[in-house]
Amino acid sequence: MALTGVLRPGHIQIRVLDLDEGVHHYRDVLGLEETGRDASGRVYLRGWDERDHHSIILRQADRAGMDFFGFKVDSEATLAKLERDVQAWGLKTERIPAGDLLETGERVRFEIPSGHQIELYATKTFAGCDRGEKDPSHYSPKMDKGIAPMRFDHALLYGPNVDKVLDLFTNVLGFHLAEYVTLPDTDIKGALWLCCSNKAHDIAFVIHPEPGKLHHVSFYMESVERVFRAADIMAANDIKVDIGPTRHGITRGGTIYAWDPSGNRFETYSGGNSSYPDLPPIAWTWEGLGEGGGLDVAHRKLHETFLTVVT
Ligand code: M3P
Ligand code: FE
């Protein structure tokens, strides 16, 4: 197996201001499948191409944002090794018991220098999916329900100490840097697209004074055409759109940024570069992010909300 260590984004717990409204958005409009609710009232969901029990967890709270982001690793031995490595790098870690999240084994959680709670886990129940496993026709109506993303794909997080985050992810957690943006007139990397696989990215960071902020949670669509279909569904459901449909120059993914009812930004995303650890990262300047079309190829500008609206 070529892909080892940290395998993929596994889950993200999102805070919503009203649970029913949040469930309506993520289950009925986005079209994710609800796979469980736990004793504390959290709601578990996933996309139609996911085989793990869940990827999205909704928790009702007084403020929007992200509680934690979890990565699946390849074994309990890797989990224990990365736990030691993260400690040796200088972070405190916490073991969260199996079963705290439904159908999920022990998790190792730590706060990274940007102020985000990141966790690793090795075990989550494979719950199968209708497509291709139970239904030999390879079709399930879930593939057309609502906006119908295939999976939770990545998140973009805002916070300080992005240089330290880069060191931790590349030198401890085994990620590679796929693309980055330098701050105006410097060679300081102010935005990072990091990858543990060969997708365009698995997690991204933008430098920001306030720690622990969520810019967006991204959902992978089967095609860019499906991103346009998502725009129709957003319009029909009065979802407030931030940017798009357009294409990002950075990652080259087709995209819409829009807001859930609590003000958390989400993205419907498709296509994009593939990346490999031996390739030098793609370097963008600050001007490239804006006028160069890094953020928005069609409009070639740095939208004001991109740097200012986070939860
Ligand atoms: C992404 C993302 C930007 C390119 C972004 C690509 C923001 O998938 O994180 O939204 O320039
Ligand atoms: Fe994104």
pLDDT tens digits along 6-30 = 999 999 999 999 999 999 999 999 9
What's the predicted TM-score (pTM) here? 0.97
Q: Is the CB of 289 under 6 A from ligand 1?
A: yes
Helices marked H in the chain? 19-23, 76-89, 162-171, 224-236, 286-289, 304-308
The protein residue with its alpha carbon nearest to ligand 1, atom 3, reads 295
Q: What is the largest distance, in Å, between two alpha-carbon atoms of the chain? A: 56
What is the CA angle 73-102-119, rounded to 5? Answer: 35
Cα–Cα nearest to 61, from 12, 15, 14, 117: 15
Confidence at residue 140, expressed as pLDDT on a 0 to 100 scale: 83
The protein residue with its alpha carbon nearest to ligand 1, atom 2, reads 156
Confidence at residue 127, expressed as pLDDT on a 0 to 100 scale: 87
Tens of pLDDT along the chain (311 residues)?
589 999 999 999 999 999 999 999 999 999 999 999 999 999 999 999 999 999 999 999 999 999 999 999 999 999 999 999 999 999 999 999 999 999 999 999 999 999 999 999 999 999 887 665 665 567 888 899 999 999 999 999 999 999 999 999 999 999 999 999 999 999 999 999 999 999 999 999 999 999 999 999 999 999 999 999 999 999 999 999 999 999 999 999 999 999 999 999 999 999 999 999 999 999 999 999 999 999 999 999 999 999 999 99
Q: Is the CB of 217 under 6 A from ligand 1?
A: no
Give strand pairing partners of 58. Answer: 14, 43
Over its C-alpha atoms, the chain yields an Rg (Å, rounded) of: 18
Q: Which residues belong to the active site?
A: 154, 201, 216, 248, 257, 267
| Coil vs helix vs strand at 253 | strand
